[in-house]
Amino acid sequence: MTERIKKLTELTLSGQMYAEPTQTVFDQADLLLPKQQMESKRICEYILNQEPKLTEYSCLTGFFNFDGSVVGDAFRRGGHKATQEAINRFYLKPVDNLSTMEWQHATADYAKILNKGISGIIGDIDESFKIHDDAEQVEFLLALKRVANALIAWAHKCSERALKLSSTVENAEHKSNLKKLSEALLRVPENAPGNFYEAVLCIYLCFSADPDSVGTLDRYLYPFYKKDMEKGTLTKNQAAEYLQELFLMLQAATKVTSAYFTRGGESHFCIGGYLPNGEDGFTELSRLIVESMLELPTYIPQVTLRWTKKTPREVFRFMLDRERKDPHKRIAFQNDEKRIKCYTEICHIPFEKAVGYTTVGCNEPAFLGAIIGSNSKINFLRSIETVFHKKAGLIENAQTYDAFFDVFKKELFDDLMLAYQYDDFYNKQRAQDVNYISSLVFNDCIENAKSLTQGGGNTVVASPMCLGITNVIDSLCVVKQFVFDEGLFTMKELISALHANWHGYEDMRTLILKKGKFFGNDDDTSNYVAQRLYAEMYDFLKDKTNLYGYHWLIGDLLGYNVHHKWFGEHTKATPDGRYSGNMLKFGLGQSEGRDREGLSALLNSIAKVDPNGIGCGSTVTNITLDEQLVKNDDNFEKTVDLFLTYFQNGGVHFQLTYVSKDDLVAAKCTPDEYKHLRVRVTGFSDYFVKLNQAIQDDIIARTEQT
């Protein structure tokens, strides 16, 4: 790490590189203008009133934050009035103990920006005028063009400020950097960048339009890197320095006082994965990106390796090795084989577009230049509760497991359809807001003359997240094993136990917990139950879409908020041994020691469960390992092969934590003594002591695999 980067790191971690918004006063007469004209006019005035964040150590500048006074970016949603109203009513507020509105992540199409610059995007707008004559669509395109020209003017303003600062700087290297920055800002992002440095600068400046994921960073930067390296105009060290400054500025985009400052979900991107030509995309730049990022003592961004069957073992080992040595837990792993199958076969996305996916936020799938189509949370366990507590008369005399399952299945699908109606409702609420700056850098919005908030994108998936999937599988396993296969108690007895919240039926509950064939043990019963559940969901959902025509996929992760606690508090006792009011499980995995057969069995169960890929939405698999499986070099090689086999067998995702349960319990009791203990949570990492108690309890409950 160079001295310049060390200084920028210091400033970033102390919060001094955050771009504070400059308040803008607008003309009241703007209110007399048509809505889109007024909103875009004010956005332009706001942008040009901002001041770039610059220090003598800077090689990059141009990022600005919105303050809510105008329609801002689609990620943070400042100025999105209808969305804010919907958030006030439905965000973090479960409806019918079934659904709750959640945030949406996205990634700009940086490849398009780098290929044609904003001037080329303006050209696309001009072409779109030729095919759209609807007054509202024309006004939307005019608004986009105004904002695009404002971004060019903003870059020129940044150029002036950089040149002015350079005249006050004494350090020759820093002075030269600022002059170079000033010159570059007169070229980009107005025009396509001509070299690696300009490409990185272009990304950072356009990050203001969608301060979320930077997508598939290695593949769209690689042509610039390769060209400059071959020409001898760029060294590996210089490239690393530009990348590190970019990563620092991504960290600086979040306020140091925010709880999110130490969480990587604010800017999650991918490396590797299939290219449109079918080859694996991991390159020497991918490696440099990881090495450069992990040299920084920061938390944002986080990165996921997209593994393919063509990924060399050495690359997979390299990433796992970096993961085990990263104190800030910024790396996760994804399987392209299952995801690409899902996107092409279920969502009917062409292969050349399907390979453009990335994982954003806490592990939601989005395509380059697209938003995740929906992110609501669903209480998946409510269907089991309904069957046993409200409609027990329909199952108490069931003669076979199939007869019972048919009753359950109807309730499950009724719940899903109702939850998807709520999801469409949340999207309709958001659609009342027209977004301009993010739509400018998103695919298809210009061509369709439609805001991304209104379904402007064509390559999008919808993935509401179903919490409690493992609870459902385990509940079905209990019914099959104890009631129908072994006959150890009757359905009426099980119903009575649940109605009593297990009081007076402690022996039955103990037997279930001790002998139950729960998910994650790779036995015939639990595998059959889990696979049948996913097969039924596939058959039910494979042709269903949301109001914008985006295909539904099952998700299962939690995010930053404790929906599993809120849903669980109002969900009565269930056959898996869960008491009334207990939390739901999230993610695709197992916990509480129910995965008794060890890590291989757990991974086998997960890999087998969903051959069709209906669960390749926002999914996460958390694995807690004994530290010796990664710290000991001999054990580590076996661990590499174990997870390689898991992906080869069909596993979709994994992320690792190595903290012992004893340390986690101690950290909860005496947090001041464990301030630096970091864990993977649900697609992101954070300090354990900063997490909500309900999330802490879930992490403690995970089985430590030895």
pLDDT digits (tens, 9 = 90+) for 219-245: 999 999 999 999 999 999 999 999 999
* The three-state (H, E, C) secondary structure of 53-98, written as one string: CCCCCCCCCCCCCCCCCCCCCCCCCCCCHHHHHHHHHHECCCECCC
Q: Average per-residue pLDDT in the chain? A: 96
User: In the predicted model, is pLDDT for residue 706 greater than 80?
Assistant: no
Instruction: With a cut of 90, say whether residue 395 has pLDDT above it.
Output: yes
User: What are residue 304's phi and psi, to 5 degrees?
Assistant: -120, 135
Q: In 10 A of CB 61, how many CB atoms?
A: 25
- β-partners of residue 461 are 551
* Tokens matching residue 573: 């006792």
Residue 149: both structure tokens together: 């020209």
Q: What is the pLDDT of residue 703?
A: 79
Q: Which tokens belong to 448? A: 């369709």
Mean pLDDT of 559-586: 96
Q: What percent of the chain has pLDDT over 90?
A: 94
Please compute the mean of the pLDDT values over residues 338-354 and round it to a whole number.
97
The pLDDT, as a whole number, for residue 360 is: 94
Residue 264's pLDDT is 81
pLDDT the model gives residue 604: 98
DSSP track, 140-180? HHHHHHHHHHHHHHHHHHHHHHHHHHHTT---HHHHHHHHH
Q: How confident is the model at residue 436 (pLDDT cuts 50, 70, 90)?
A: very high
Evaluate whether 107 touches 361 at the Cβ level (below 8 Å).
no
> In the prediction, which pLDDT does 630 show?
87
- Which H/E stretch holds residue 584? none
Using pLDDT thresholds of 50, 70 and 90, give the confidence band for residue 330: very high
Angle at 456 between CA 223 and CA 215, to 5 degrees: 30
Strands 461-462 and 704-705: unpaired
Q: CA 539, 611, 587: angle at the middle one, nearest 5? A: 90
The predicted pLDDT at position 69 comes to 98
CA-based R_g, the chain, Å: 26
| pLDDT value for 679 | 92
Given pLDDT bands bounded at 50, 70 and 90, which one contains residue 705? confident
Task: Report how far residue 11's alpha carbon sits from residue 17's, in angstroms, rounded to the nearest whole number.
Answer: 6
Contact by Cβ (8 Å): 225, 90: no
| pLDDT one-digit tens code per residue, 624-675 | 998 888 888 889 999 999 999 999 999 999 999 988 888 999 999 999 999 9
Per-residue pLDDT tens digits for 234-274: 999 999 999 999 999 999 999 999 999 999 888 999 999 99
- Mean local confidence (pLDDT), 100-104: 94
- Token pair of 600, please? 């291989």
Whole-model pTM? Answer: 0.97
- Greatest CA separation found in the chain? 87
Sequence spans of domains, the chain: 27-64+110-209, 377-620
Taking a C-beta distance cutoff of 8 angstroms, is the pair 147, 140 a contact?
no
User: pLDDT tens, 497-514?
Assistant: 999 999 999 999 999 999
What is the mean pLDDT of the segment spanning 102-112?
95
76 φ, ψ (degrees, to nearest 5): -85, -20
Question: In the predicted model, is pLDDT for residue 63 greater than 90?
Answer: yes
pLDDT band at 6 (very low <50, low <70, confident <90, very high): very high
Is the confidence at residue 187, as pLDDT, over 80?
yes
What is the predicted pLDDT for the residue at 661? 85
Residue 307, classed as helix, strand or coil, is strand
- What's the pLDDT tens digit per position in 125-153? 999 999 999 999 999 999 999 999 999 99
Of the pLDDT bands very low, low, confident and very high (cuts 50, 70, 90), residue 374 is confident
pLDDT interval class at 555 (50, 70, 90): very high
